[in-house]
Amino acid sequence: MAYHSHPHSHDDIPPPPTEGWKNEGVRVIPANSLDTNTPQTPGMNRAAAINFARVGAQKIWAGTVHIHANAKTGAHHHGHLESVIYIVKGKARMRWGEKLEFTAEAGPGDFIYVPPYVPHQEINASPDEKLECVLMRSDQEAVAINLPDVVPVEMPEDVKWIDPTHPH
């Protein structure tokens, strides 16, 4: 092994699994093999790439979300899970709150953070382009609690995020 200097030893690297790293190490999940057998919310299509059943993930879930042009999901939340949505293509409009009274928009390259238990709704703000996103959650569970009784307010309040670490 070549010498390199840094403040830790390599004693913290676990030994290879019994079967070796070949099939127990890095996994590449092809786009055409995502699993659509996941909890769904009306107005969107979720597909799992990373979860316990597929790769043995213990602490994360990741997959894709597609929302058709001019469509919106029903109100829902994801229980105790934190969610991150990365916009690949299209324009997302998020609404959240007890009556979906707050709103913000995101485009390609933007990230959206959804805390646990926050009622929210994803909206494709484009009348003619599919919204394509990558979704990550803080556990390998695919929790989706649909909230059919939420009645959205007519005019939600636009919210601009201010980074507390770089407020200016």
| Residue at 1 is within a domain | no
Inter-residue contact 118 to 77 (CB < 8 Å): yes
Per-residue pLDDT of the chain (168 residues; tens, 9 = 90+): 455 565 666 677 778 777 778 877 888 888 888 888 887 777 788 888 888 888 888 899 899 999 999 899 889 999 999 999 999 999 999 999 999 999 999 999 999 999 999 999 999 999 999 999 999 999 876 678 889 899 899 999 999 888 788 777
Domain that holds residue 71: 33-158
| Residue at 5 is within a domain | no
Q: pTM for this one? A: 0.80
| Residue at 27 is within a domain | no
Number of domain units in the chain = 1
| Residue at 164 is within a domain | no
| Residue at 8 is within a domain | no
Q: What is the pLDDT at residue 8?
A: 61
Inter-residue contact 120 to 100 (CB < 8 Å): yes
How confident is the model over 64-91, as pLDDT tens digits?
A: 999 999 899 889 999 999 999 999 999 9
Query: What CA–CA distances, in Å, run from 12 to 8, 21, 38, 140?
Result: 9, 16, 35, 25
Return the CATH number at 74.
Answer: 2.60.120.10
